[in-house]
Amino acid sequence: MNWDYTYQYRDNFIYNLHPGIVLLLCTNFLIWCLIFSHPFYLASLLVANGMLMISAGHLQTWYLYLKFSLFMSLVIIIINLLFSSAGTTTLLELTLSGEYILKVSWEALIYGLGMSLRLMTAMSSFALFTLAVNPDQMLTWAGRFGTHTALLATSSLRIIPMMIEDYHRITEVQKCRGVRFNHRSIRQRIKSYWPLMGSMLLASLERSMIMAESLYNRGYGLKPRTYTQLRRWQTGDYLVLCSTLIGIVVACLAQWKHWSSYSYYPVLNRVISVEILPALVVLLLFALPAIINWGWKKWPQLRSTT
Amino acid sequence: MAAIKVDNLTYQYANSSFPALQDINLEVQAGEFVLLAGASGSGKTSLLRAINGAIPHFYAGFIKGEVYLDNQAVSSLDHRQRVQSAGLLHQDADSQLVMNSVTAEIAFGMENMGLPVKLIRRKIAELTSALNLNQDNHKRTADLSAGQKQRVALAALLAMQPQILLLDEPTSQVDPVAAEEILTIIRRLNEDTGITIIMAEQRLERCLHLADRYLVMENGQIKGDFKKADDMARWAIENNCPFVPPVPRVFALVGQPSIPTTVKEGRRLLRELDTFSKDVSDHKHGSTQLKNHQICHPEEPQATKDLFRKSEILHLPLTRFFAIPQNDTLKSTFSIVTNASSVSQPSCSDYIVEMNKVSYTWPHGSKALRQVDFKLPAQAITALIGDNGAGKTTLLKHIIGLIKPDRGSVKVMGRNTLQLDVEDLAAEVGYLSQQPDDYLFLPTVREEISFSRHKLGRGTAETEKQLIQRLELQEYLECNPRDLSTGQRQRVALASILLSKPEILLLDEPTRGMDYNLKAKLGEILKEFVQTGVTILLVSHDSEFIAEYADEVVLMSAGKIIAQGTTAEMLDGSIYYAPQVNRLFNGLHEQVLTVEQGVKLLKRYRLGVNDWN
C-alpha cells in the first residue's frame, strides 16, 4: 500500500482542525470551482487549495494528484480544440478528407485550460479531504446527523485511496498475465484498461458489501449511541470557520456582480482590474489555515490558543 | 438448554442456483468449543452467518427452517439482541476493520451499543492487555501486521460481549507465530470465560486439540458430528475424507486403536510403545548402528529408500542423525550416499534467478529488502518462509520485475530485470498474488481460466480440461468467479496461472483456503511441473505443504535472508516452522517430515511390521 494517499496524522494546524471544518473547506472549494468560470478565480481556488496541501505537508502527494489531473486535462484540452468551433480567433485550420474543416481556435484553447483548472481544483479538494480528515472523527461527528450521512462521508473519504490502491494492485497482476497498458494506439489502450475498470468496480462493490456487513455486525445504526472520541470545537476552528464564511460572502458577491463569470466564446472577455481584487481576497480567506499553520509552527504559544 | 439450535435449515443465496445450506440440524451447548471442518465452498461461512443472523437479515435469499439462540428465534431478534448474541470474526481482518486507529476500532461496537464512556475506556484497557495489544494502542490499523489486525478485530468483537463467538478461519492469513498467539487467546477465552465458540478451519493441525466437538460439512450438509477428535480421524480415514491433520493421520493409517490429536499426546503414545522406545534408546547408544545404517544401504527395499529419499537427494549431514560404523565396508557404503548428495548439489548454471546484493526501500521509508543475495535453483520447488512483513512478497515482485531494486541486480534466466518490462517476462514467469480477486474480471470461470492461455499463447485446451478437473472446478465453469467462495476463487486464479505453464512459477500463499485433499492435488501438479522443467518459488506459512513438496527452503526476516537449505535441514527441529510429524518424532528420530515417512517409521518401530510395501 502506498501510504501517501491515506490519512496519517501529522502535527500541524490543518490536521488539528475539526473534521467538519475541513469538510466545509473542501466542499467549499468543490462548489466554487463548479460555479466560477473566470480563470482568475479558478486559479485563486487552486492556489489556496495548494497552499493548504503544502502547509499540511503533502506537496509530493499534491503533485501526484496534479499529475493525474494533468493527463485528464490534456484529454479535455485536445477534445475541446478538436470539436469546439465556437471560437473566432483561429490558430490553425486544416481541411480533412475534402469536406471536414478542422479549426483550432485561441478561445477553445483557453476554455480547455480553464476547465483543466476546474478539474485540478476539484481533484485537490478531494486530496485534501482524504489526507487531512481523520476518518474516525468524521464517522463519529457525521454520525450525529444520521448514520447514512456518516457512512457516505466515511466512504467518500476512503474511496480515492482505496481505488488508487486497487488500481496499482490490479494493474500489477494484469501486467503479469501479459496485459500491456502502454500501447501507442489509444484503441488498444482502452481495450487493455477496460477489464481493469471492471475489476476495480467489482472490487469496490464487494468491499462496500463487506464493510456494510462489518458495520451491521458491530451494531452500527443502533440508538442511543455514545462517543469516546468526540472532537470539541477550538478557537482555531472558529477562526477558520469565520474566514471561510467571509470568503463565501465575497465569492457570492463576486458571482452576483458577474466578476467571477467569464465568457470564452465567441471571443475571450477582457479581464478588468475590479474582477481581480475579490479573487485575491477569496484566495487569502480560503488559504487562512495555511497562514495560521505557519504561525503555529513558529510560535508554540499559538498552539495552545488554537 | 442449547445455546444454539439449528432446526432443519436450508438456505440459498439470491444469486445462486444451488443451496449453500441443506437440512442442517444442530444443537450446541453453552460453553462448547465446536470445530467446523469442510472443503472450501462446503457451507461453513454460510452456517456461521446463519447463526449470527446475517443470513437472512443481511444476505437475501431463500430460507427454510430456523436458528435459535438461547431458545429465541434469530429472525425474531432485533439488531441489538443479534449483535449481543453472536459475534462473527471473518478470515480477512482487513475487510472487517472499519476504523482508522486501534482504540477507535475496539470502541466502535461499544459506542454503537451505547455503553457509558468510562466503561468503554476501561474495557479498551482490559482488552488491549488481554490480547497483547498495549504497544499498538495508538497505531493506525492499516500499519498493523495481519496477526495484529486479527487480534484487534477479535478485541473489537469481544468488547461487545457476545455470548457466542463465531470464527471463520481466523488464522488463515497469518504466519505460524501469529496463528499460535490467536489460537492461544481463543482457547483461553473458552476455558476462562466459558464462551461458546464455533470455529471454521481448514488447517486442523493447529486447533484439533482445542475443540470439544467436531463437525464435518460437505455440500452444505453436516456429514459428521463427533465428540472426540480420534473418532473424527477414524471416520475420515474410513470415508476417504481429507479432514485429518498429520499427527492423527499417521496413527490412524497404522491402525492405532487410540488416536492422539496433539503432538504432546502423540509423543506420549510413542514413548508408551515399548518397542519403539527401546529401539530409539538402542539407536542412541549405537547398538543398532548396523540396523540404522541399513536404511541407507543400496540393497534395502525400495520403500525403505523412499523413506529416506529426502536425505539422499537433499544432501543431509547424516552423521548428525546416525551413528556411523567405523569399519571400511560401511564407510564405503556411506560414501555412496554422500557422493550421491554431492552429485545433486546444484552448480552455478543450475540457478535460474540470481539476486545480487538487492536492497529496496518503500516510498514511505521502511526497508523491504536489505542486501539480499539469493539464487533460485532451477527445476525445483523452493519455499520462502518467514513472518508477515519479512519481505517475501517483495522478493517475488523483484523476480517478476514489478519492483526494480534500488541497489543490486536481479537476473532472471540471465536477463537483468532493470532492462525489462513486466510484460516481457510474463510468458516466462507466472505470478499468483496474495489476492486472487485481482485476477477475476471475466463473467465466467471458464473464460477466466483460459484468459492467460489465450493472452500468452501457451498451454492447450487438453491441459486446461485436465487442470480444471484436478482443481475440482468443473461444476463452476459457467459461474461468475465472484460468486464463489474464497478458496474456490483462489483455485480459479491458480488454474489460470498454471495453465500458461511458464518457466518460473511464483506463488504467493497458493494453499490459502484449500483443504488437505486439494493441497495434495496442487502439490502433485507442482511436482509434475518441476519434472517437465518448471522452477517454482512459493511463499507459504503452510509447513505441512512445504515439508511434503518443497526441495529447498529459504527463511527471511526483516528484509534479509537468514538461512537457506534443503527442506529437511531447514524444517527439522524448527521451533515454529517444523511440520507436525517432525514435532512428533523430534528427539526420537530426526528428518521425519511427512505423513508418509511418519507412517513407515511407526509401522517399523512400533508395530514391528516389516512389510514396507
pLDDT band at B195 (very low <50, low <70, confident <90, very high): very high
Test the A interface: residue of B49, B77, B111, B145 with most A CBs within 10 Å: B111
Compute the distance between CA of residue A121 and CA of residue A113 in angstroms, rounded to an integer.
12
pLDDT value for B311: 35
Test the B interface: residue of A11, A172, A173 with most B CBs within 10 Å: A173
Comparing A258-267, A272-281, B195-204, B453-462, the range with the smallest average pLDDT is B453-462
Q: Which of B112, B117, B437 sits opposite A222 (nearest CB)?
A: B112
pLDDT value for A5: 74
pLDDT of A34 higher than 80: yes
pLDDT value for B441: 83
Say if A232 is an interface residue toward chain B (CB within 8 Å). no
Task: Test A7 with B121 for CB contact under 8 angstroms.
Answer: no
pLDDT band at A180 (very low <50, low <70, confident <90, very high): confident
Considering only CA atoms, which of B385, B413, B412, B386 is closest in space to residue B397?
Answer: B412
Inside any domain, residue A28: yes
Write down the mean pLDDT value for chain A.
86
Residues in A closer than 8 angstroms to B113, CB to CB, are 219, 222
Q: Using the 8-state DSSP alphabet, how is residue B201 labeled? A: -
| ipTM value for the complex | 0.76
Entry pTM: 0.77
Say if A210 is an interface residue toward chain B (CB within 8 Å). yes
Q: Which of A135, A170, A214 sits opposite B96 (nearest CB)?
A: A214
Inside any domain, residue A217: yes
Give per-residue pLDDT as tens, B483-506.
887 778 888 988 888 888 789 999
Considering only CA atoms, which of A251, A245, A198, A26 is closest in space to residue A125?
Answer: A26
Task: Test A136 with B99 for CB contact under 8 angstroms.
Answer: yes
Task: Test B114 with A172 for CB contact under 8 angstroms.
Answer: no
pLDDT value for A304: 64
Task: Test B433 with A172 for CB contact under 8 angstroms.
Answer: yes
* Top-ranked range on mean pLDDT: pick from A174-183, B151-160, B200-209, B284-293: B151-160
pLDDT value for B63: 93
- Cα torsion B309, B315, B317, B318: sign: positive
Residue B471 or B277, more confident: B471
pLDDT value for B589: 81
pLDDT band at A201 (very low <50, low <70, confident <90, very high): confident
CATH number for B349-591 (one of 3.40.50.300, 3.40.50.150, 3.30.1390.20, 3.40.640.10): it is 3.40.50.300
pLDDT band at B380 (very low <50, low <70, confident <90, very high): very high
> CA B106 → CA A133, B125, B126, B146, B154, distances in Å?
20, 10, 11, 16, 9
Comparing A61-75, A269-283, B150-164, B342-356, the range with the smallest average pLDDT is B342-356
Inside any domain, residue A256: yes
Say if B160 is an interface residue toward chain A (CB within 8 Å). yes
pLDDT value for B293: 33
Q: How many CA atoms lie less than 13 Å away from B448 in the CB half-sphere? A: 29
Inside any domain, residue A58: yes
pLDDT of B320 higher than 80: no
3-state helix vs strand vs coil in chain B, percent to 5: 45, 20, 35
pLDDT value for B206: 81
The neighbour count for residue B370, using CB atoms within 10 Å, is 16
Task: Test A222 with B364 for CB contact under 8 angstroms.
Answer: no
Q: Which fold has domain B2-227?
A: Rossmann fold (3.40.50)
B128 membership: H or E segment, kind and range = helix B117-130
What amino acid is encoded at A297 in this protein?
K
pLDDT value for B611: 41
Q: Using the 8-state DSSP alphabet, how is residue B212 labeled? A: S
B223 membership: H or E segment, kind and range = strand B221-226
Q: Are B408 and B355 in contact (CB under 8 A)?
A: yes
Residue A111 domain boundaries: 16-305
Write down the mean pLDDT value for chain B.
82
pLDDT value for B337: 31
Q: Using the 8-state DSSP alphabet, how is residue B63 labeled? A: E
Residue B67 or B230, more confident: B67
Compute the average pLDDT of residues A65-88. 85
pLDDT value for A265: 86
Between positions 121 and 160 of A, the ones with CB within 8 A of B are: 134-136, 139-140
Strand bridging mode B221-226 / B61-69: unpaired
Compute the distance between CA of residue A115 and CA of residue A121 in angstroms, rounded to an integer.
10
Between positions 408 and 437 of B, the ones with CB within 8 A of A are: 421-423, 426-427, 429-431, 433, 435, 437
User: Mind spelling out the 3-state secondary structure of B446-515?
Assistant: HHHHHHHHHHHCCCCHHHHHHHHHHCCCHHHCCCCHHHCCHHHHHHHHHHHHHHCCCCEEEEECCCCCCC
Same topology between domain B2-227 and domain B349-591: yes
Considering only CA atoms, which of A133, A25, A57, A227 is closest in space to residue B100?
Answer: A133
Between positions 18 and 77 of B, the ones with CB within 8 A of A are: 52, 54, 57-58
Q: Are B398 and B369 in contact (CB under 8 A)?
A: yes
Inside any domain, residue A10: no
Q: Using the 8-state DSSP alphabet, how is residue B59 labeled? A: S
Give per-residue pLDDT as tens, B146-176.
888 889 999 999 999 899 999 999 888 788 7
Give per-residue pLDDT as tens, B321-349.
333 333 333 333 323 233 333 334 455 45
Say if A207 is an interface residue toward chain B (CB within 8 Å). yes
pLDDT value for B278: 57
Compute the distance between CA of residue B218 and CA of residue B231 in angstroms, rounded to an integer.
18
Say if A175 is an interface residue toward chain B (CB within 8 Å). yes
Q: Is B611 helix (H, G, I), strand (E, B) or coil?
A: coil
Test the B interface: residue of A217, A220, A225 with most B CBs within 10 Å: A217
pLDDT band at B241 (very low <50, low <70, confident <90, very high): confident
Chain A residue whose CA is closest to B138: A9
Comparing A105-119, B13-27, B39-53, B320-334, the range with the smallest average pLDDT is B320-334
pLDDT value for B408: 94
pLDDT value for B282: 54
* Top-ranked range on mean pLDDT: pick from A33-37, A204-208, B438-442, B602-606: A33-37
How many domains, in total, are found in chain A?
1
Task: Test A136 with B100 for CB contact under 8 angstroms.
Answer: yes
Say if B504 is an interface residue toward chain A (CB within 8 Å). no
Task: Test A179 with B455 for CB contact under 8 angstroms.
Answer: yes
pLDDT of B379 higher than 50: yes
Considering only CA atoms, which of B516, B593, B582 is closest in space to residue B547?
Answer: B593
Compute the distance between CA of residue A8 and CA of residue B142 in angstroms, rounded to an integer.
10
Q: Which of A170, A177, A222 sits opposite B451 (nearest CB)?
A: A177
Say if B486 is an interface residue toward chain A (CB within 8 Å). no
Query: Phi and psi at residue A225, in whole multiples of 5°?
Result: -115, 150
Task: Test B438 with A217 for CB contact under 8 angstroms.
Answer: no
Compute the average pLDDT of residues A114-126. 93
pLDDT of A176 higher than 60: yes
pLDDT of A156 higher than 90: no
